């Protein structure tokens, strides 16, 4: 494997890791908020420290992270959900549209050409979507999390959430 191929593979893995963490921030914050509201603040603080890193979490800070992070977390879930849905749809184009008249579709008249055009076009959109907008959202989420925790350095697992290069 060439050094360039290794770097591209590492970049793709980092982008996917950032997208997954950003997209799951809303459900994670909801779990923390439910634990606090159910009278389990100790469990909520351990949960928050595990999923987002940092130290000094309290029940109030977990609720504040859930409330203040709601706009960014919802946007991240929307964007990553859109990316996942359209990835399945475009990479699986032959399965979704096999019974239709694909001769006039982009890349037609063969199904192989149609699939190649749709998969390549979506791969480019996915790269752009995960490379910049999702990373920007994740940086905002990370900044909020660091601000609401004790301001200490994030855990090693959380530090990989938003690579410095972007």
* C-alpha atoms less than 13 angstroms from C-alpha of 131 in its C-beta half-sphere: 11
Query: Are the beta carbons of 58 and 10 closer than 8 angstroms?
Result: no
Query: Are the beta carbons of 54 and 146 closer than 8 angstroms?
Result: yes
- Residue 116: its pLDDT value, please? 85
pTM value is 0.77
- Residue 153: its pLDDT value, please? 53
DSSP 163: -
pLDDT at 162 over 70: no
Is residue 43 classed exposed, middle or buried when 0-12, 13-18 and 19+ CB atoms within 10 A define those classes?
Answer: middle
pLDDT at 69 over 70: yes
The pair of three-digit structure tokens given for residue 16, joined into one six-digit string: 């996917």
Tell me the mean pLDDT in the region 69-98. Answer: 87
| CA–CA dist 107, 25 (Å, integer) | 38
Q: What pLDDT band is residue 74 in, cutting at 50, 70 and 90?
A: very high
- Residue 166: its pLDDT value, please? 45
The share of the chain scoring above pLDDT 70, in percent, equals: 89
Cis peptide before 87 (omega within 30 of 0): no
């Amino acid at each position: 494997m060439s050094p360039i191929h290794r770097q591209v593979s590492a970049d793709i893995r980092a982008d996917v890791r950032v997208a997954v963490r950003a997209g799951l921030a809303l459900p994670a914050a909801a779990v923390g908020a439910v634990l606090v509201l159910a009278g389990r603040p100790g469990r909520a603080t351990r949960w928050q420290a595990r999923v987002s890193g940092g130290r000094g979490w309290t029940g109030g800070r977990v609720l504040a992270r859930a409330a203040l992070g709601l706009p960014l977390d919802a946007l991240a879930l929307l964007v990553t959900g859109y990316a996942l849905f359209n990835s399945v749809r475009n990479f699986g184009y032959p399965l979704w549209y096999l019974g239709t008249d694909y001769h006039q579709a982009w890349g037609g008249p063969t199904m192989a050409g149609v699939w190649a055009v749709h998969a390549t076009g979506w791969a480019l959109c996915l790269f752009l979507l995960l490379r910049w907008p999702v990373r920007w959202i994740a940086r905002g989420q990370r900044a909020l999390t660091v601000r609401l925790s004790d301001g200490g350095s994030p855990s090693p697992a959380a530090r990989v959430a938003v690579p410095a290069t972007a």
